[in-house]
Copies of this chain bind each other. A is one copy, B any other.
Amino acid sequence: VTITDVAAAAGVSRATVSRVVNNLQTVDPAIAEKVQRVIAELDYKPSGTARSLSLGITQTVAMIVPNLGNPVFQQVLRGVTIAAARDGFRVLVADSQEDIENEESIARDVRRYCDAVILCSPRLDGDRLVDLLHAVSPAAVINRSSQSGTVPAVTVDYAGGVRELVDHLLGLGHRRFAYLAGPPRSASNVQRIETLQRLAAERDLTVEFIPCGHTMDDGFRAWDDLQTRAATAVLTFNDIVALGLLGRLAEEGVPVPERLSVAGFDGIQASRFSSPPLTTMAFDHVAMGESAWAALREEMTGTSRHGDLIIPPVLVPRRSTGSMS
């Protein structure tokens, strides 16, 4: 049942039906009421697709994440979704499953069905990312600088965060560190590795880099490698990995923090409840999503300032870090 059916049944033109549906301009109250009645009788529901085509806008944006299983991205998604809904926008989600090709093809494909795209923590490297952003513009990037400076980005100060974490651990007397590295393509991972290398060069400390991953299982298994190292404090790519490691350490009977201090990153809710509770650098993920939406909104309306918004994470010291006994 289309607008034409309603028009016919009500004995008016389609234009009039359109007007009452969008309660536009002045329509004779009597006519309007009749149309409404017919709409109800026929159970008419305007086609959003047709409306979008006609108007040239979909009121929909897409958000692409590397992995919907990660609580951080979930919370960011929540922030985006709620903020977008406030502005009358719907959001399309896609999980690239950490696959670069997926990420790119999904973004390009989905853009044909929406008005803008938010790339969350894209794994794509420099040039390809710039190209992609250009292609799907308007766009916004989360958890990574936009590179080109031509697209708004909301990021976390990972370098500063790592420094703060290291300071915290230095204060506890640690000098030998290990870093359980995340996905090599992850920009935030690279940023932290570089920061740690710099710190190792500048200050009285050593860092061993251990390829690990981003999942709990990766953290769990990391002990196999980690136990051969001399580190007394370990930083992880994220809280998930840290929790996996803590689980393993508990199984192995390795006392934390007496024999090994563990520090995560992100501040996911579960970090509060692990045993021991996890020291981490936390930031507000939902707010991050909301900020990304705000930035994208400006981009869409052409009022963008294009500055990267950098969120400072805050140290949440808990019992997983301490002095050696």
Interface residue ranges, A against B (CB under 8 Å): 43, 45-53, 58, 60, 68-69, 71, 74-75, 77-78, 81-82, 85, 90-95, 97, 108, 110-113, 135, 216, 243, 246-247, 269-270, 272-277, 286
Contact = CB atoms under 8 A, between A and B. Distances in A.
A253 B43 CA distance: 60
Contacts of A135: 43
A246 B273 contact: yes
Given A81-B68, A243-B273, A269-B216, A90 B74 contact: no
A71 B68 contact: no
A45 B136 CA distance: 10
A276 B275 CA distance: 7
Given A45-B112, A92-B93, 13 more contacts: A45-B108, A47-B112, A48-B112, A49-B52, A49-B58, A53-B53, A68-B82, A77-B93, A78-B95, A90-B113, A91-B93, A247-B272, A274-B275
Contacts of A91: 92-94
Contact of A77 (B68, B92, B112, B275): B68
Contact of A60 (B92, B270, B276): B92
A82 B97 contact: yes
Contact of A92 (B52, B75, B92): B92
B74 A95 contact: no
A85 B95 CA distance: 9
A45 B170 CA distance: 54
B90 A110 contact: yes
A90 B94 contact: yes
A81 B53 contact: no
Given A60-B92, A272-B247, A49 B81 contact: no
* A49, A71, A269 pick with most chain B CB within 10 angstroms: A49
Question: Which 4 pairs between the two chains have the least Cβ-Cβ distance?
Answer: A275-B275, A270-B270, A48-B112, A48-B113
A269 B269 CA distance: 11
Nearest to A67: B78
A267 to B, nearest CB: 13
B93 A81 contact: yes
Contacts of A75: 69
Given A69-B78, A91-B92, A97-B82, A112 B46 contact: yes
A170 to B, nearest CB: 27
Nearest to A68: B78
